[in-house]
Amino acid sequence: GAGVSQSPSNKVTEKGKDVELRCDPISGHTALYWYRQRLGQGLEFLIYFQGNSAPDKSGLPSDRFSAERTGESVSTLTIQRTQQEDSAVYLCASSIDRARYEQYFGPGTRLTVT
Amino acid sequence: KQEVTQIPAALSVPEGENLVLNCSFTDSAIYNLQWFRQDPGKGLTSLLLIQSSQREQTSGRLNASLDKSSGRSTLYIAASQPGDSATYLCAVSAGGANSKLTFGKGITLSVRP
């Protein structure tokens, strides 16, 4: 079956512009996560969605970052007024349910802020 | 705060060698541990998931063990091949309301033909 997909695969934007990154989880997966991987750093958790519960936004680095998810489907991560330090690979993962089940990752979106 | 460490950061071995990749974590109150593989410019591929109640998991030439009380996991790769060259990441989940993964920085493995 189809895995997690993300678009675009690459995005180059100018400092100060807004960007939207999209994630399509595996069908039927209720849990969805966004992570960020900056060069030379480990993956950092950003935000978590579980069904219709309020999302856990504890990993978002600033109020320029926001994310939405429609039901148990597509999620978009929005970064407003991008800064050079936002350059990273943004990875999305989904899981059948939280905790017990493994997370499956998409290929990521490589964001470059010039 | 949970911290995950993987040492060394890079490893180079000749083809055919059996090898062990180490992972340690500071908070033993984990729900599960997952090993991933990441190829350059690609996303993560899940290799093995070990629940906190388990001691090990096996898949083909891969075997992952977990010693929760000492905060350690190892990934054993038997008869390494050049195609095993990649970055191997260890991640732990605390479970509960948020099962976010806390990752190590990874071990970049190079298997020489």
Instruction: State which H helix or E strand residue B28 sits in.
Output: none
Side chain identity, residue B28: S
The nearest CA of chain A is from the CA of B63 a distance in Å of 17
- Residue B15 scores a pLDDT above 80: yes
**Chain B residues within 8 Å of chain A (Cβ atoms):** 4, 31-32, 34, 36, 41-46, 49, 51, 89, 91, 93, 95-106
What pLDDT score was predicted for residue A71? Answer: 79
Q: Give the whole-angstrom CA distance, residue A52 versus residue A107.
A: 25
- Report the percent of chain A where pLDDT is more than 90: 75
Q: Give the whole-angstrom CA distance, residue B25 versus residue B2.
A: 7
Beta bridge partners of B89: B36
What pLDDT score was predicted for residue B13? Answer: 96
**Residue B35, Cβ density class (10 Å: 0-12 exposed, 13-18 middle, ≥19 buried):** buried
What pLDDT score was predicted for residue A99? Answer: 58
According to DSSP, residue A25 is labeled: P
B82: helix, strand or coil? helix
The beta-carbon neighbor of A99 closest among B4, B31, B44 is B31
What pLDDT score was predicted for residue A98? Answer: 62
Which residues, including other chains, have CB under 8 Å from residue A53's CB and lie 6 or more apart? none
The beta-carbon neighbor of B46 closest among A43, A98, A102 is A102
Average pLDDT on B49-59 reads 93
Using the Cβ of A7 and the Cβ atoms of chain B, whether some distance falls under 8 Å is answered with no
> Contact A86/A17 with Cβ under 8 angstroms?
no
The per-residue pLDDT for range A52-103, each reduced to its tens digit, is 888 999 999 999 999 999 877 899 999 999 999 999 999 999 998 765 678 8
Which residues, including other chains, have CB under 8 Å from residue A20's CB and lie 6 or more apart? A76, A77, A78
Average pLDDT on B43-71 reads 94
Q: What is the dihedral of CA A106, A104, B84, B53, to 10 degrees?
A: 160
Q: Is the peptide bond before A8 cis (omega within 30 degrees of 0)?
A: yes
The per-residue pLDDT for range B69-93, each reduced to its tens digit, is 999 999 999 999 999 999 999 999 9
Q: Best interface-test mutation with B: which of A98, A109, A110, A111 has the largest number of B CBs within 10 A?
A: A98
Side chain identity, residue B97: A
What pLDDT score was predicted for residue B40? Answer: 86
